[in-house]
Structure formats: structure tokens, C-alpha cells
Amino acid sequence: MKKKITIIGAGPSGLAVAYGLSVNGATDIQIIEKESESGGFSRTLTYNNYYFDIGPHKLSPLFPEVIDTLRAKLNIELLEKPNYHGVLYNSYVYTYPPNLKEICTAPTITEILLFGYSWIVTKLRRVITFDEPDADLKNSLTKIFGKRFCDKILFQMIEKVWGNHTMHPDFYNTRFSNLSLFGSVWKKILKKKSIHSNSIYYPVHGFGDICRAFEIYLKKNNVKFNFNTTIDSIRCSNPSSLAGPYTIAIRNNSIENTIHSDCIISTVSNRNLIDNLTRSTEMPELKKLSNSFVSRMLRLGIIIVTGFHLLYRNIIVPEKKYMFNRIAEMNHYADLNYPENETLLMLDVICEPASIIGSLKKADFEQALLADALKLKWFSEAQVKMCFSLDFNDAYPVMSIERYQAQKELEKKLINSDIYLCGREAASDYNNLHNAVAKGFLVADYLSGKIGEAEYNARSLKIGRFPILD
């Protein structure tokens, strides 16, 4: 294993790599983090004694090894809860994944019939024309779920979050080729028998529990954290292959310093990594890739309401007439000591910074968000105790075709280097907390020599998954 290791970013991915490397015997690990604390988008924040998460609203049971490590090795108390979330469509919240009984009794039965009709027509058309599944995500999803469901729900949902619904055919082929409606239903039926059934996990005090536990372990094992630190440049010993050792110029509150490292694991935006690499050396080909790594911003709205509870842990809101993509109730599962009868709702708005919503002034944004939430008629203005918002730039990578191509080119350029990409912004192939931690452990196993390249590549593909289907 490389001796001196530098990890950029102390989000779940960076922390999980550091943990895996430390467990596998690495002793010289440094983490560079631009914020004053670890956790990234999986941080739990405190405001006026209210706790709330920025990003994750559930921890998926997809990788039992992740759950086992968090519980058994890091002593994190995880509540096991039903994966109880819904989709708001046409003023009615449908459970997701769909529940047959509820579908049959929903008030919007005509809509359901129209969805069913569209699905049957799509299937029949496919049988009649002997149509092969194709490599385009949009067409393929239409063929699987029917045009109406895709137009009204799926594409709107993807577009609200990702800014588009195009995806590179290779990405689609490697990740979704086995996707089918029957397959998903069948998997659901089978899963009912497994221990994890249909549950999700939820740390008792919010997702910050996970990152805090990693940090405590790592500090005990002499991993060095450099908080409030940014990188000015990364110089490679061999610029043509980008191989190490590396000289990393860092800055902490305007104090400059240098780190020497044999290996770098980047969990931050590739735009950022490329900018750091090209700042010290002319590398026009590499520089060209930088602009393809585009991300959208998150405007997280918090509304504290009295005398109201969301029926679900979180509700996806695909319809464009609402500016938010998702509403979650923070105290749905955990007892967070909020004042009695109060509920903290988190409303995610993901948007381009230059869009109408993205460029609204904070106060105007909060007013518009509240007005939008009141449109739901779930609670009245008199019940609203507080409304505020927080902005996070670069929160959601745009999974465009250009990004996929740039990612592949960057990976090719790094093949003989000692730089490894991990984390949702850097690896560009997954989006959730369980993936971030699983990928971190995987990269650590690979770098420690516990697994070879073939196993690493095969397991990486299993980790990358289409985000909304998790």
C-alpha cells in the first residue's frame, strides 16, 4: 500500500476510504476538507436547537456489509424503519413503490386507468414491432413503464433533480439493462422474505451520526484532519502520466502549507481536481475536460409547523407546478427533542444557480417556497412557526452525456497515475449515502491489495445505480 495518502473531502466517501485504509493497515493518512467539519451533504445541522439533515433522508439496506460495519464496528445506533415514502401526483400521495390496494382505491382512478392503458399500449406496440430494448434511457424507460407514467412522473422527477433526462448509452447499458417493471415487482416480492425486507435505516440523531462516528474512529487511529483547508495546486512528479509522488499546496485561513503525498483519493468535483492539477503545469487536454463537470445547487427550505405530521417519511414531488422536489419530515422516525407538537419539514429545491428560482434573493425565495407549500393545503399559515433556507452550491452533479464522456476520458488519463476517484462528485456513478460508503470501502480494499482490478471493476458497477430507483 502507498505510504502517504491524501484524501480530498471529508464526506461519507472520503471518511469511508480513510476508515477502510486505516483498518487495512495504512498509517499515514491526511484528509483535506474545505468546511469546518466533516460530513459533506450527509451532515446534520443545528439551528435554534432544531436538528436537520442536509441531504439523505434514508439509508438503503442494499449493501448489508455497510450496515453491519456502521453498527458493529462504529457502534452507530440505526433505527430500522419501513421504507415509507410517497409520490405526490394530482393532489394525491401514492405510496412508492406502488401498493395495489391503494391504487385500486385512489380517488384518481381515471388517472390510474390512463396510466395502465398507456402501459399496455406501449407493451403491445413493442410486441407487434418486435422492438428491441434500445440504448437510450428515455426510450427504454418509456418502453418499460409506459409513456404516460414517464411523461407525467418519471421524467419530471428526473429533470427536476438532474436538470435533464438524457444519459450516455454506455452508462445506461451497464447500469439498467435488466430493468423491467415485472423484474422490479418480482424483486419486491422476493425481498419481502429477506431479513431486510422493505426497510430502511435511520441514525437516531440524523445522518451526522455516521460521519461523526467515522471521524472519532479515524482520529483515534491518527488520521489527520485538515479542516477549513483548500488546495491551491497539485504538482505531480511525472506530469505526463500524472503519477506521484505529489506536492499539494494547501491554504488554511490564508496560511499556506505543503503536503507531500504518494497517493491522492479525490472525492470532490473533478472540475476542482483538474483545476488544481493544471494550475501548476500546462495540460491543455486535461483542462478542456474541466467544464463538463457541471453541478446544480440545492436550496434547502426548512418549515417548522405545529399540529401537523407528514404521513410519510418523505414525499417526492415530480410535478413542475411545485418548486420543491421532495418534502421530508425530520422527526418522523427519531425522537429529536423538538418542542411538543412541532414538525420540521425539509423541502429540497434543486436548480441551476442562474434559473429564476436559483437567482431569487433569500427572503424572496423563502416567501415563494412557503406560498408553494401552503398550496398543498396540508397546514395553514397560522400553523407555520418558522421558515428559513440554506443554499449549497455544487449539490447535484448533472448526469449528462458530456459528463459521462469527460469522466471516461479523465479516468483514462489517470490510469497510470496514483490518483483515485471516489465520491459522488468524483466517480459520477452513484448518488446515495449507502453507495458513497460502499464505494469508499471498495476503493480502500483495492488500494490495500485485498482485491484485484477485475473484482474492483465488477463491484464498482454494482454500486453505481440509477438514483431514483434506490
Ligand X SMILES: Cc1cc2nc3c(=O)[nH]c(=O)nc-3n(C[C@H](O)[C@H](O)[C@H](O)COP(=O)(O)OP(=O)(O)OC[C@H]3O[C@@H](n4cnc5c(N)ncnc54)[C@H](O)[C@@H]3O)c2cc1C
Q: Taking a C-beta distance cutoff of 8 angstroms, is the pair 231, 248 a contact?
A: yes
Stretch of 288-296, 332-340, 433-441, 442-450 lying at the interface with ligand X (CB under 6 A): 433-441
Give the CA dihedral 6, 11, 14, 19, nearest 10 degrees. Answer: 110
Position 5 contacts ligand X (CB under 6 A): no
Position 118 contacts ligand X (CB under 6 A): no
- Strands (DSSP E) found in 317-457: 326-329, 342-351, 384-397, 419-421
Position 313 contacts ligand X (CB under 6 A): no
- CB burial class (10 A; 0-12, 13-18, 19+) of residue 371? exposed
The pair phi, psi for residue 243, each rounded to 5°, is -80, 155
User: Which residue from 67, 259, 268, 410 is in contact with ligand X, where contact means CB under 6 A?
Assistant: 268
Position 272 contacts ligand X (CB under 6 A): yes
State in angstroms the smallest separation of the CB of 121 from ligand X. 33
CA nearest neighbour of 38 among 204, 205, 219, 200 = 219
User: Which residue from 395, 399, 414, 438 is in contact with ligand X, where contact means CB under 6 A?
Assistant: 395
What separation in angstroms does the CA of 386 have from each of 49, 303, 324, 428? 13, 6, 18, 36
Task: Pick between residue 13 and residue 22 the one whose CB is nearest to ligand X.
Answer: 13
User: Which residue from 18, 30, 51, 56 is in contact with ligand X, where contact means CB under 6 A?
Assistant: 56
Count of residues that interact with ligand X, criterion CB under 6 A:
36
State in angstroms the smallest separation of the CB of 330 from ligand X. 12
Position 294 contacts ligand X (CB under 6 A): no
State in angstroms the smallest separation of the CB of 15 from ligand X. 7
Stretch of 99-107, 351-359, 420-428, 452-460 lying at the interface with ligand X (CB under 6 A): 420-428
Across the strands, what pairs with 261? 246
Position 434 contacts ligand X (CB under 6 A): yes
Stretch of 33-41, 134-142, 148-156, 238-246 lying at the interface with ligand X (CB under 6 A): 33-41
Stretch of 32-40, 81-89, 122-130, 304-312 lying at the interface with ligand X (CB under 6 A): 32-40
User: Which three cell numbers, joined as nine digits, stand for 223?
Assistant: 488520521
Task: Pick between residue 1 and residue 468 the one whose CB is nearest to ligand X.
Answer: 468
State in angstroms the smallest separation of the CB of 207 from ligand X. 8
User: Which three cell numbers, joined as nine digits, stand for 272?
Assistant: 476542482
Give the CA dihedral 138, 349, 91, 312, nearest 10 degrees. Answer: 100
Position 154 contacts ligand X (CB under 6 A): no
Position 10 contacts ligand X (CB under 6 A): yes
Return the sign of the alpha-carbon dihedral for residues 373, 377, 379, 381: positive
User: Which residue from 424, 438, 442, 463 is in contact with ligand X, where contact means CB under 6 A?
Assistant: 424
Task: Pick between residue 215 and residue 348 the one whose CB is nearest to ligand X.
Answer: 348
Cα separation of 454 and 434, whole Å?
A: 22
The pair phi, psi for residue 316, each rounded to 5°, is -85, 140
- CB under 8 Å to 324, separation ≥6 — which residues? 301, 317, 347, 348, 349, 369, 372, 373
Position 423 contacts ligand X (CB under 6 A): yes
User: Residue type for 404, please?
Assistant: Y
User: Which residue from 17, 32, 67, 351 is in contact with ligand X, where contact means CB under 6 A?
Assistant: 32
Across the strands, what pairs with 26? none
State in angstroms the smallest separation of the CB of 392 from ligand X. 7
User: Which residue from 7, 18, 40, 303 is in contact with ligand X, where contact means CB under 6 A?
Assistant: 40
Q: Taking a C-beta distance cutoff of 8 angstroms, is the pair 303, 348 a contact?
A: no
State in angstroms the smallest separation of the CB of 290 from ligand X. 13
Residue with smallest beta-carbon separation from ligand X? 11
The alpha carbons of the chain give a radius of gyration, in whole angstroms, of 23
What kind and span of H or E run contains 79?
strand 78-82
State in angstroms the smallest separation of the CB of 146 from ligand X. 26
Cα separation of 199 and 196, whole Å?
A: 6
User: Which residue from 400, 431, 443, 447 is in contact with ligand X, where contact means CB under 6 A?
Assistant: 431
Enumerate binding residues for ligand X (CB under 6 A): 8-14, 32-35, 40-42, 55-59, 230-231, 267-268, 272, 298, 348, 395-396, 423-425, 431-434, 436
